[in-house]
Chain A
Amino acid sequence: MTTRFTKDHEWIKVEGSAGTVGITDYAQHALGDIVFVEPPEAGRVLKQGDDAAVVESVKAASEVYSPVSGTVTEGNAALADQPALVNESPEDQAWFYKLTLSAPAELDQLMDRAAYDAYVKGLE
């Protein structure tokens, strides 16, 4: 399994052509207490960079951009009832959606863990 990151603070974990997307610990910290998540519905076709989901805190609303192109296979229904999961377990339980990648080569444009950590350090 490979994990990659975007400059907009999404992560994607990939096994074969199946990807799982969420937002990073840095992103959930920046947003504060998450109060609402709207994951995409299964079947939605996303291009890389498309608005895929919405995540909201009390005073901010943010889009989640799809790190790669593909077709959504599942949105994380648990987040509707438990938006706090994003704060508690951003990079594990609080995944936003799963998709089937249509252009796996796009992964090469993303950062690996070390590069992302350095990127975040540069923001502080």
Chain B
Amino acid sequence: MADGVTTFSGNRGLAIEEPLIFEMNAPGRVAIDLPEPGPVDADRLAGLRRATPIGLPDLSEPQVVRHYTRLSQKNYGIDTGFYPLGSCTMKHNPRLSEKMARLTGLADLHPFQPQATVQGALEVIDQLAWWLKQLTGMPAVAMSPAAGAHGEWCGLMAIRAYHEDHGEGHRRRVLVPESAHGTNPASAAMCGFTVDPVPADDQGRVDVAALKAKLGPDVACIMVTNPNTCGLFERDIIDIAAATHAAGAFFYCDGANFNAIVGRVKIADLGIDTMHINLHKTFSTPHGGGGPGAGPTVLSEKLAPYAPLPFVVHGAGGLHLVEHAAEVPESKPFGRVKGYHGQFGVFVRALAYIQSMGADGLRQASTDAVLNANYLLAELKDVLSPSFDGPCMHECLFDDRFLKDTGVTTLDFAKMLIDEGFHPMTMYFPLVVHGALLMEPTETESKETLDGFIAVIRALADKAKAGAAEEFKAAPRLTPRRRLDETLAARTPVLRWKPGANS
């Protein structure tokens, strides 16, 4: 062990080794008591009864509870500590939101119950939609996208549908800044668009002249993240929007960084035509180790008719969920983006958060998020190398110039932070600076937390410059597993357990 402590069991105090469930199998154990099913009616199975065992392990409830408890203890969450993962908005997840999502009258509802029996559920969707429209100044919102990337695709599909409907189907080029999230070009490709990259200027913002030069009669839209992935507000955004519209194209805004501006800017005032909102970022629904999220997508007047099915309208007999285009003659939905009616459980949590915060709290939140990022920037700029001048928005970007000639890489630096009890910042993104370190503190971190983090970063920067490369290369040393061999994982993929093959 890196710290010299070895044990017979391999366990290390509270850090207990845990096998795979398949390695704990004792056939006949049960963790759920189910009644006797009686004989199976083979007539009704078309002779297709399963002929061989599946191979699932049998465990008891105490084993299962311990298994997942131990696994959880190998994870770092926002509940554990500071998680300054840039571009991901890892803020506190309120437990009230969890409690509301578990109310029987909201959790135990089927999407195909008669609408008269789910008026309260439709009200949740309608109220959340109302807030999202108010906060953005936009007239419509497609609620069903399941995540940010899904919302991007939804917005682009509405744009494509508009162009097709107006005899402009030849518009297939999409302008995407080089600093964009990878989802942007990937979403564009799924709409049959081609991606034309736009360079950044030396201020970390879209090169406006280059963007204007690329506009033309074959451009469907631009996709710009604002605030952008360098944590900067696009100062020329109104000019960019005007030029885009003059060229007959739309302005898609990647709203991943909406947390910086909620309650301070209505995106409608910036000339944006459509933007997705990551409820799992800005509105504090939990990331859950990778999802689920939700990506409601606001739409301008022009794009609104093309919103996908289903959507909620106010009808004579109460709220009505429109599931077929024919029900609303003026609608021209481009289709359906997923099953059922959107990420309802996520909606409940986001609405509970919004109601808790209110208009005043939301504005304070974005203000504090920006304050915290600028505080980090101010306190770290002399020891790290800030990529651009401040002020920044909700996240601050550094590059690896401060590590030049130390033998320490951005990755090594981040791994050292783990031993210090912090989650690393986002690394190597955005791609427009070398060895990026992108820090997003969010508004739910106290000054004491930030000061503790700042002190550690400063000490680590000094240490790196003092020539401790080997120590950095060896980090982390105090985690359940140390650096993992990703090359081995990719060269010889082992993507599942097989009997006798995984020890």
Contacts and interface: CB of A to CB of B under 8 A. Distances in A.
A84 to B, nearest CB: 7
Nearest to A56: B490
A35 interface: yes
Interface string B479-492: 00000001100110
Contacts of A59: 428
A116 interface: no
A69 B487 CA distance: 33
A61 to B, nearest CB: 11
B484 to A, nearest CB: 11
Interface in B394-421: none
A90 to B, nearest CB: 16
A38 interface: no
Contacts, number: 15
Contacts of B490: 35-36, 56, 58
A36 B488 CA distance: 11
A83 interface: yes
Contacts of B428: 59
Contacts of B486: 58
A58 B490 CA distance: 7
A36 B487 CA distance: 10
Nearest to B486: A58
Contacts of A33: 487, 491
Interface string A19-30: 000000000000
Contacts of A83: 491
Main secondary structure of the interface of B (DSSP, over half): helix
Interface in B414-465: 428
With most chain B CB atoms within 10 A of its CB, the pick from A35, A57, A83 is A35
A59 B487 CA distance: 10
Nearest to B428: A59
A36 to B, nearest CB: 7
B490 to A, nearest CB: 4
A84 B487 CA distance: 10
A38 to B, nearest CB: 14
A56 B490 CA distance: 10
B18 to A, nearest CB: 26
With most chain B CB atoms within 10 A of its CB, the pick from A33, A36, A56 is A33
Nearest to A33: B487
A36 B428 CA distance: 22
Interface string B13-37: 0000000000000000000000000
A84 B490 CA distance: 11
Nearest to A87: B487
A36 B491 CA distance: 7
Contacts of A57: 487
A45 to B, nearest CB: 24
Contacts of A58: 486-487, 490
B124 to A, nearest CB: 41
Interface in A61-97: 83-84
Interface in B358-407: none
A107 to B, nearest CB: 31
Contacts of A36: 490-491
A5 to B, nearest CB: 26
Nearest to B487: A33
A33 B487 CA distance: 7
A33 B489 CA distance: 12
Contacts of A35: 487, 490-491
Interface string B485-502: 011001100000000000
A63 to B, nearest CB: 16
A83 B493 CA distance: 13
A83 B491 CA distance: 7
A69 to B, nearest CB: 25
Nearest to A36: B490
Interface in A15-55: 33, 35-36
A32 to B, nearest CB: 8
A85 to B, nearest CB: 11
A62 to B, nearest CB: 14
Nearest to A58: B486
A53 B487 CA distance: 20
A59 B490 CA distance: 10
Nearest to B492: A35
B62 to A, nearest CB: 39
A59 B411 CA distance: 13
B404 to A, nearest CB: 14
Nearest to A32: B487
B53 to A, nearest CB: 33
10 contacts: A35-B487, A35-B490, A35-B491, A56-B490, A57-B487, A58-B486, A58-B490, A59-B428, A83-B491, A84-B491
Given A33-B491, A57-B487, A58-B487, 12 more contacts: A33-B487, A35-B487, A35-B490, A35-B491, A36-B490, A36-B491, A56-B490, A58-B486, A58-B490, A59-B428, A83-B491, A84-B491
